[in-house]
Amino acid sequence: MKTHTLLMPLDMHLHVRDGVMLENVAPLTAYSFSGAIIMPNLVPPVTTKDGVKEYKERIMATVPNDFFEPYMTLFYKNYDKAFLESVVDDITAIKLYPDGATTNSEGGVSSFDIEEMRETLQAMSDLNIPLCVHGETAGFVMDREAEFMNIYELLAKNFPDLKIIMEHITTKAAVDMLDKYENLYATITVHHLLLTLDDVVGGMMMPHHFCKPIAKRPEDLDALLSVALEAHPKVMFGSDSAPHPRDKKESCGCAAGVFTAPIALQLLCEIFEQYDKLDNLQDFVSDNAQRIYGICPEFKEVILEKRPFEVPETYSGVVPLYAGKTINWAIQSVE
């Protein structure tokens, strides 16, 4: 049986929600990943030191404490330096959402006026707190990310010492931006390495393929594959796994989000093997992120094996990508 071993896999963009949903989905990530960057877009969002600590406690109550590290984030607003100094040891990054751009992003940034943001972003630069960005404008859905490149340039030029993570990039334009500015990095999801817009709405609407940013054109998919498969040193895996109850996905007003947490590593093995790039997967799912963020996760060894695995129809009521279908890799063991 063909196997492949990954050490300390990391998910650098994850939604685990709260309450019952948190209890259901957090253990699925904790099983196969050493750690994950936790998104702060709860209702209300995580914006205080106590909020960060309490949310981390709720996460840790659901997972084995010795085998998983939730890397916590704040929801971006204009914080002063004194506050950031008080919370710097409790967070790994701050997440910026344009107002209304995606799930629970109300109250996000409505104006990218650099002078209004300067105190916060300069303090983040001084304290080495990365800025993670959901990079979409309010324009036409297929162009929202490409149009956001001007804002990334504005941020990168004005704050050259600020580490800026372009989250879940989906376009060739974003890939091209990686080598343009030293302080720009990116996460890439597994579903954006598999899907184009045709897979979402090309035939019947596929609600469990719908996310924001939406999957784009074949040439965009090719650009993402080109940097992911080579484990470009400025890219890392971030699932953006976003669980919603089935009735919120299969309904009018379909919620945005693709749930991949339980099968992400298996699908990545399949993709990287297809292109004869399995040797680069370790960098993409762990080593690059460790270097970019300066983190040292707890040791975990995940052994995957090439054998048919039927994806469950649901995980506690949450429908995963490729539900009911057979994929080519499975997790053999975790130590």
Q: Which of 11, 220, 240, 283 is flagged as catalytic?
A: 240
Quick one: pLDDT at residue 1?
A: 80
- Which pLDDT band, with edges at 50, 70 and 90, does 293 fall under? very high
**Catalytic residue flag (residue 279):** no
Contact 71, 46 (CB under 8 A): no
Of 250, 172, 245, give the one whose Cα is nearest residue 210. Answer: 250
Tell me the HSE value of 240 on the side-chain side, using a 13 A CA sphere: 30
Quick one: pLDDT at residue 67?
A: 87
- Which pLDDT band, with edges at 50, 70 and 90, does 174 fall under? very high
Average of pLDDT values for 93-122? Answer: 94
Give yes or no for residue 65 having a pLDDT over 80.
no
Domains of the chain and CATH, by start: 13-264 (3.20.20.140)
Contact 162, 155 (CB under 8 A): yes
Average of pLDDT values for 105-123? Answer: 94
- Which pLDDT band, with edges at 50, 70 and 90, does 64 fall under? confident
Give yes or no for residue 192 having a pLDDT over 80.
yes
**Tens of pLDDT, residues 242-281:** 999 999 999 999 999 999 999 999 999 999 999 999 999 9
Q: How far is CA 107 from CA 99, 101, 129, 306, in A?
A: 6, 10, 21, 45
